[in-house]
Structure formats: C-alpha cells, structure tokens
Chains A and B, each alone.
Chain A
C-alpha cells in the first residue's frame, strides 16, 4: 500500500499573533540559555584555574562579540524567567482570560527588556571593574 503523505503540524499556517510569538521566544531563549550555561561553566572553571587564567578568561568574555552574547544571555535569562513564571501560573489554571493573558504577555515582554538592561549593566559593573 502506498504511504500517504502525513499531515504536518499546522504551526506555520497560523496567523502570527502575540501568543505564538511569546511561545516560540520561550523556546529560543531556552536554547540560548543552554549555550549561556556553558559560558557560566567556562567562567567558573577560570575562577578555579587561578588569577592568571581568570584574567585571560575575563579578557575573552569582555571582548565585543562575547559582550553581544552576554547581553543576549541577559535578555534570554530575563525573558525566560518572566515568561516561565507566567507559564507556572497557567499550569495552576490562572490567567487564561483573554484580557489577562494579553496583559501578562505585554508585561513579560516589556519587563524582560527593562530587566535585561539592568542585569547587563549590573553584571558589567560587577565583572568589568578589573578589565
């Protein structure tokens, strides 16, 4: 019997709206944070490696391409944190009213940008002091 082409998930056909934007951003930031995790491990290993290795690692981390990655990680961290909390409330059955869901979505997006700028500024002040 000839195999019929199976239907694909229709996620690419849906009209673009805030719900699927936030949803896919949660995935993308999750993947980015997994990469950021390796940067955190690199930093920890450098601290354990002694002052010279730490100084060299900081130089690498504060070079501009990695600053970009660090800012990306900061945004990903804030967004994933805020939207994650939003999802925990969904999991408990709260916040499904259309108006509420829309409000929490915009609050998450705006909060993530604001918090990311704050985190980046604080982390730079914290780590960049010696470089």
Chain B
C-alpha cells in the first residue's frame, strides 16, 4: 500500500498539459515585445547625447515609465518561456534540468524586480 494512488496516472497527465498555454503565451508576449522593442529603439534614437538628466527626463514621463515596466515584465516572461524550452531540450538529466530551470527562473524574476524598482525610482523622482 502506498500513499500514492493510481489516480495520479489519470489526472493531469494528458499529452498537452500546460503546453497549449505555454505556446500561446510565448506568441502573445512576442507580439507585445515586437512593439515595445520598436518603442525602445526609437526612444534611444531620439535621446541623442544621453546625459543622465535627459535619460531621467525621458523615463520619468508617465508613458515612458509605463512602457518601460511593461517591457521589463514582458521580456522576463518571454525569456523565461523560451529558455525553459531550450533547457528542457538540451539538459537530459532530470535533477540537473530542474535545478537549472529553477535557477534561471529565480535570476529572471530577480532581474525583473530590480528593473521595475529602478523604473519606479526614476518615475517618482528618486534618481535626480
């Protein structure tokens, strides 16, 4: 007798599981990033000689800080989904794979939090 009943074989183990939502989220974040990436490119282009003051002035406008927060979050999410697939494809050992996946997710979440806090500090005038 085991704590684990045969039920685990029939619940949540279909071929798709979370695959469809992973696939869909990858595409939706891709479309968002194409737009946000172009925004970042044109912003850099118009910044000219970017002194600290000019960068702060640009990033502290409501539109820029909103788009910057969206860019940081969407990029982290898209990278997380993409790196997950790459790691699952190339890291064969189950234990190593789980460890690498968790480490990558931690790193991306930490980076995203640092990025969002940085934008908020700039937006609320703490960077001047």
**Which of A44, A55, A77 has the most chain B CB atoms inside 10 A of its CB?**
A44
CB-CB under 8 A from B91, the residues of chain A are: none
Q: Report the minimal beta-carbon distance from B89 to chain A, rounded to whole angstroms.
A: 8
What is the CA–CA distance of A41 and B118 in the complex, to the nearest angstrom?
Answer: 8
CB-CB under 8 A from B49, the residues of chain A are: 126, 129-130
Q: Are B45 and A126 in contact (CB under 8 A)?
A: yes
Within 8 A of B (CB), among A31-51: 31, 33-34, 37-38, 40-41, 44-45, 47-51
CB-CB under 8 A from B126, the residues of chain A are: 48
Contact with A along B61-93 (1 / 0, CB 8 A): 000000010001001100100110010000000
Q: Are A91 and B50 in contact (CB under 8 A)?
A: no
What is the CA–CA distance of A82 and B98 in the complex, to the nearest angstrom?
Answer: 32
What is the CA–CA distance of A81 and B41 in the complex, to the nearest angstrom?
Answer: 12
Q: Are B114 and A41 in contact (CB under 8 A)?
A: yes
Contact with A along B102-113 (1 / 0, CB 8 A): 000001100110
What is the CA–CA distance of A84 and B86 in the complex, to the nearest angstrom?
Answer: 16
Q: A34-B79, A38-B111, A47-B55 are in contact. Are A127 and B50 (CB under 8 A)?
A: yes
Q: Report the minimal beta-carbon distance from B14 to chain A, rounded to whole angstroms.
A: 22
Q: Report the minimal beta-carbon distance from B66 to chain A, rounded to whole angstroms.
A: 14
Q: Are B56 and A47 in contact (CB under 8 A)?
A: yes
User: Which residue in B37, B107, B114, B127 is a CB contact (below 8 Å) of A50?
Assistant: B127
Q: Are B48 and A129 in contact (CB under 8 A)?
A: yes
Binding site for A on B (CB under 8 A): 27, 30-31, 34, 37, 41, 44-53, 55-56, 59, 68, 72, 75-76, 79, 82-83, 86, 107-108, 111-112, 114-115, 117-119, 121-122, 126-128
What is the CA–CA distance of A27 and B83 in the complex, to the nearest angstrom?
Answer: 9
Q: Report the minimal beta-carbon distance from A24 to chain B, rounded to whole angstroms.
A: 11
Stretch from A93-101, A104-112, A117-125 at the B interface:
A117-125
Q: Can you list 19 residue pairs at the A/B interface with Cβ under 8 Å?
A: A33-B79, A44-B115, A45-B118, A47-B52, A47-B56, A47-B59, A47-B118, A47-B122, A48-B121, A49-B127, A51-B52, A51-B53, A54-B55, A55-B52, A77-B37, A81-B34, A81-B37, A91-B27, A125-B48
Minimum CB distance partner of B56 in chain A = A47
